[in-house]
């Protein structure tokens, strides 16, 4: 029987994790397939790690992976992907913003032959107008610039087939814009609409500073178009300067030269200075990322690892548990490569 692995990246979710776990368990029990759960504790400092370890001690189906510090959700998800062995893998947030009930539909679509089944948010309750608007602008820009179409209004909540997971595991870049990577691997993909609930407990780790970096990450990871901006700006200003020069030449020849133009001179100098700094900044963004990639560091380090045992679904006896564990151990050994 096929097996579903559920990865839950958590960072300081102590307030709501018990409730989340309860709802997730209900869904998994109703599935007619084996399943295991892996919580990835991403350097929490509010007791999440202890709670997760307790869940795992209570229930052999639940495993946990504790990273050595906070590496960010992208790295936490990658760590999860490196350590699960299911034929299908679901990634879900631990704050109940992604309804676990949707997993049933994900599995149905996976059985229908899709490799990547993702949740598309049909509503964004509990988010401010500014956040919704800036998200919409960002996705529009990214859509224009990116080489692969990256679906809009889509989070990380999704199901991946085994071959999609294997594909993702081969992308070891440091700057991980996961939504883009999920799209980049290709394979048949399918969207399932859902209403995204407001956060149940705690608060979002996103602020506008982090969102700005996230947007830069998305654009620089999937497009080199901003680098070409300098060329175009340079061309346009050169043509403008040439026309302006011609105008002055003719004016001086026809009307003489009373030496006017101090304000226009200042404006032009400031404008060109600004354009040059912006272009340098863009080059810098790409250079810094190239530098980071060139260091080739590991994506994360594991402090503690307890694999979960596969457990049978609603109408199946458990059989593959031991084999499962052996597989997971294998995955763990490779993870730091
Ligand atoms: N998360 C994580 N590491 C981080 C930040 C967040 O593993 O550094 C987890 C967090 O616990 C949650 C999920 O990623 O399960 C989504 O985070 P959050 O709710 O802050 O993001 P949002 O839902 O606002 O996009
Ligand atoms: Mg959230």
Q: How many angstroms does the Cα of residue 93 sit away from the middle of ligand 1?
A: 7
pLDDT of residue 114: 94
Ligand 1 pocket residue status of 252, Cβ below 6 Å: no
pLDDT of 33 > 80? The answer is: yes
Ligand 1 near 206 CB (within 6 A): yes
Name residue, tokens 């610039």.
145
Please state the pTM of the whole predicted model: 0.78
> Does ligand 1 have an atom closer than 6 angstroms to the CB of 9?
yes
Report how far apart, in Å, the C-alpha atoms of 162 and of each of 26, 88, 215, 333 are: 24, 6, 29, 18
Ligand 1 nearest-atom number relative to CA 72:
8
The reported pLDDT for the residue numbered 200 is 66
Residue of minimum CA distance from atom 23 in ligand 1: 204
Task: Confirm if 193 and 262 have CB atoms less than 8 A apart.
Answer: no
| Span 136-157, average pLDDT | 85
Q: Is 324 in the pocket of ligand 1 (CB under 6 A)?
A: no
169 neighbors 83 (Cβ within 8 angstroms): no
Q: What is the pLDDT of residue 212?
A: 84
Give burial (CB, 10 Å; 0-12/13-18/19+) of 34.
Answer: buried
Q: Is ligand 1 within 6 A of the CB of residue 217? A: no
Q: What is the pLDDT of residue 177?
A: 86
CA 249 to centroid of chain Cα atoms? 55
Average pLDDT, the chain: 84
The number of beta carbons lying within 10 Å of the beta carbon of residue 3 is 24
Model confidence band, residue 316 (pLDDT cutoffs 50, 70, 90): very low
Quick: pLDDT tens for 161-179: 999 999 999 998 888 888 8
Q: How far is CA 274 from the centre of its chain?
A: 32
Ligand 1, closest atom to CA 76? 7
Which band of pLDDT confidence, cut at 50, 70 and 90, is reported for residue 124?
low
Q: What is the pLDDT of residues 251-264, one digit of tens each?
A: 888 888 777 777 77
State if residue 42 touches ligand 1 by the CB under 6 angstroms criterion: yes
């Amino acid at each position: 029987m096929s097996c579903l692995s559920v990865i839950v990246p958590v960072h300081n979710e102590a307030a709501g994790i018990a409730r989340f776990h309860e709802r997730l368990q209900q869904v998994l029990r109703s599935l007619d397939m084996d399943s295991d759960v892996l919580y990835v504790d991403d350097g929490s400092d509010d007791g999440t790690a202890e709670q997760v370890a307790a869940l795992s001690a209570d229930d052999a189906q639940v495993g946990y992976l504790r990273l050595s510090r906070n590496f960010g959700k992208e790295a936490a998800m990658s760590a999860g992907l490196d350590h699960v062995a299911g034929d299908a893998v679901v990634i879900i947030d631990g704050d109940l913003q992604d309804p676990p009930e949707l997993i049933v539909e994900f599995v149905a679509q996976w059985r229908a032959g899709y490799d990547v089944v993702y949740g598309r948010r049909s509503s964004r309750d509990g988010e401010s107008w500014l956040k919704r608007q800036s998200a919409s602008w960002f996705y529009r820009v990214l859509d224009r610039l990116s080489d692969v179409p990256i679906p809009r209004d889509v989070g990380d909540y999704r199901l991946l087939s085994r071959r999609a997971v294997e594909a993702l595991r081969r992308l070891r870049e440091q700057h991980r814009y996961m939504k883009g990577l999920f799209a980049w691997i290709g394979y048949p993909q399918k969207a399932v609409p859902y209403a995204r609930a407001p956060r149940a407990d705690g608060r979002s780790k996103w602020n506008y500073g982090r969102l700005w970096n996230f947007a830069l990450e998305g654009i620089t990871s999937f497009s080199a178009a901003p680098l070409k901006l300098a060329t175009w700006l340079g061309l346009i200003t050169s043509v403008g300067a040439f026309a302006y020069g011609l105008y002055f030449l003719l004016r001086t020849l026809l009307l003489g030269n009373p030496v006017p133009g101090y304000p226009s001179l200042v404006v032009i100098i400031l404008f060109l200075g600004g354009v040059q700094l912006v272009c340098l900044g863009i080059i810098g963004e790409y250079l810094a990322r190239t530098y980071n990639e060139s260091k080739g560091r590991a994506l994360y380090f594991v402090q503690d690892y307890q694999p979960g045992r596969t457990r049978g679904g609603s109408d199946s006896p458990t059989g593959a548990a031991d084999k499962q564990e052996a597989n997971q151990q294998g995955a763990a050994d490779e993870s730091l490569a």
